[in-house]
Amino acid sequence: MTPDVLENSLALVVDDHPDSIQFLLDALESVGMRVLVATSGNQALQQIEHLIPDVILLDAIMPGLDGFETCRSLKKGLAAEVPVIFMTGLGEVEHIVKGLEVGGVDYLTKPINTEELIARIRTHLNRARQAKGVRDALDVSGRTMLATDIDGNVNWATPQAEKILLKLSPAPPLATQRPYTHETSVPTHNILKLPPSVFQWLNQPPKPKTDKSIHQDHLTLSLNHLKIRFRVLSRVSDNEILLVIQEVQSETVERNGIAKLQSRLNLTSREAEVLYWLCMGKANRDIADILGISYRTVDKHLEHLFVKINVESRASAVASSVRILED
């Protein structure tokens, strides 16, 4: 039997009313959750510096730093990926909209119904776990991917992508280290920022696509003797963008190599590109990321060029093509 996602999950309750805190403690602990308590927005931000919860229940109206500003600060820092559920006696539409605009995922009006509260927490925890599962799968697969907001703050990155980012500066662009999480008790990713030119590029209006440019949706930077290529894979939301990041050779070497393969082996320009990156040791999915085409399209190009150059395997194709590149 699959364990309930609520069991042993950690909630941070942020509320300045003792009665509300006690009510929430009883409700959450009755379903096996563990609970941290903060009685102000500033205290909540301090708590996050030491331990990241799985979900945050946040009172909208508090003295000092109110819930809306608290949520805005949380989403700019270490709790960017933690679901925030607002709780308040304010039921007006503008307050609900404001709560969602600053990063909340849900909104409950007091007096809170226990069953509804638990059901909503369970839903948001399941979604958060599914998202984490996707990221973990990308980590294991070796993909060089990252998610960033439009200001260039990296929300998460696979280990391989993080290694490339850390090469961009002799002094890595680290704001701080993420704290230990209650689940793993090991440090998670460093907080990274993209180079300014990258997030400026991300904020430019998209250009219409043509068939003339091989890397029209890429940005290639030369930084610290490295050539790094960024490509937008998906715009997840208005403030989250999924990127692929690659270390590449100089464009001159790349162009010359592709041109050699195309002319010597009588390939199309796209087939030559696919074969070139195959010779560079890239897997099919990496080639798809570099060229901005689908994984299936890469497979089709490989099938065609194998026939043209009279080989039956990737190894044979690379062996015969490397000689041409070395000439």
DSSP string, 34-77: EEEEESSHHHHHHHHTT-B-SEEEEES--SSS-HHHHHHHHHHT
| 211 confidence band (pLDDT: 50, 70, 90) | very low
Residue 169 lies in a domain: yes
> Is residue 111 predicted with pLDDT exceeding 80?
yes
pLDDT digits (tens, 9 = 90+) for 217-276: 667 777 656 678 888 877 777 777 888 887 765 566 678 888 989 888 999 999 999 988
Confidence (pLDDT) at 284: 81
Residue type, 70: T
Question: What is the predicted pLDDT for the residue at 319?
Answer: 80
| Domain-embedded: residue 229 | yes
Q: Which tens digit of pLDDT belongs to each residue from 45-83?
A: 988 888 888 899 999 888 889 999 999 888 887 787 889
pLDDT of residue 223: 65
168 in a structural domain: yes
Clarify whether residues 244 and 224 are in a common domain: yes
Same domain, yes or no, for 128 and 195? no
Count of domains for the chain: 3
Chain segment 25-51, per-residue pLDDT in tens: 999 999 988 899 999 999 999 888 888
Report if residue 53 sits inside a domain.
yes
Look at residues 248, 267, 298 and tell me which one is the last residue of a structural domain. 248
Q: Are residues 274 and 307 in the same domain?
A: yes
What is the three-state SS of 77-132? CCCCCCCEEEEECCCCHHHHHHHHHCCCCEEEECCCCHHHHHHHHHHHHHHHHHHH
Higher pLDDT, 151 or 302: 302
Q: What is the pLDDT of residue 293?
A: 84
Residues 243 and 266 placed together within one structural domain of the fold: no
Amino acid at 237: S
pLDDT in tens, 137-151: 455 445 677 888 877
**CATH code (residue 307):** 1.10.10.10
Strands 10-14 and 34-38: parallel
> What pLDDT, on a 0 to 100 scale, did the predictor assign at position 37?
92
Q: Are residues 18 and 130 in the same domain?
A: yes
CB-based contact 180:186 (threshold 8 Å)? yes
* CATH code for position 230: 3.30.450
pLDDT, the chain, mean: 78
How would residue 214 be classed by pLDDT, with cut points 50, 70 and 90? very low
Q: Are residues 178 and 234 in the same domain?
A: yes
Q: State the residue for tokens 């464009």.
A: 251
277 with 303, same domain: the answer is: yes
Q: Which domain holds residue 207?
A: 142-248
Q: What is the DSSP track for 237-254?
A: ETTEEEEEEEEE--HHHH
Residues 320 and 275 in one domain: yes
In degrees and rounded to multiples of 5, residue 297 shows phi and psi of: -65, -40
pLDDT of residue 182: 38
Residue 3 lies in a domain: no
Tell me the C-alpha distance between 194 and 153, whole Å. Answer: 7
The answer to whether the beta carbons of residues 210 and 216 sit under 8 Å apart is yes
Count CB-CB contacts under 10 A for residue 317: 21
Q: What is the pLDDT of residue 206?
A: 58
Pair (234, 281) in one structural domain = no
Domain assignment of residue 4, yes or no:
no
122 burial (CB, 10 Å; 0-12 / 13-18 / 19+) is middle
Residues 75-104 pLDDT 10s? 887 787 889 999 887 766 777 888 888 888
Does 186 score more than 60 pLDDT?
Answer: no
Does 72 share its domain with 164? Answer: no
Q: Do residues 236 and 261 share a domain?
A: no
On whether the CB atoms of residues 136 and 145 are closer than 8 A, the answer is: no
What's the Rg (C-alpha) of the chain?
25
* Global pTM value: 0.49
Final residue before a domain boundary, out of 222, 248, 274: 248
Alpha carbon distances (Å) from 20 to 121, 154, 207, 208, 247: 17, 35, 51, 53, 52
Residue 24 has pLDDT above 50, yes or no: yes
Per-residue confidence (pLDDT) for residue 119, from 0 to 100: 92
How distant is the alpha carbon of residue 1 from its chain centre?
31
Q: Which of 248, 270, 291 is the last residue of a domain?
A: 248
Q: Is residue 172 part of a domain?
A: yes
126 and 150 co-located in one domain:
no
Q: Is residue 5 part of a domain?
A: no
Determine phi and psi for 275, rounding to 5 degrees. -65, -40
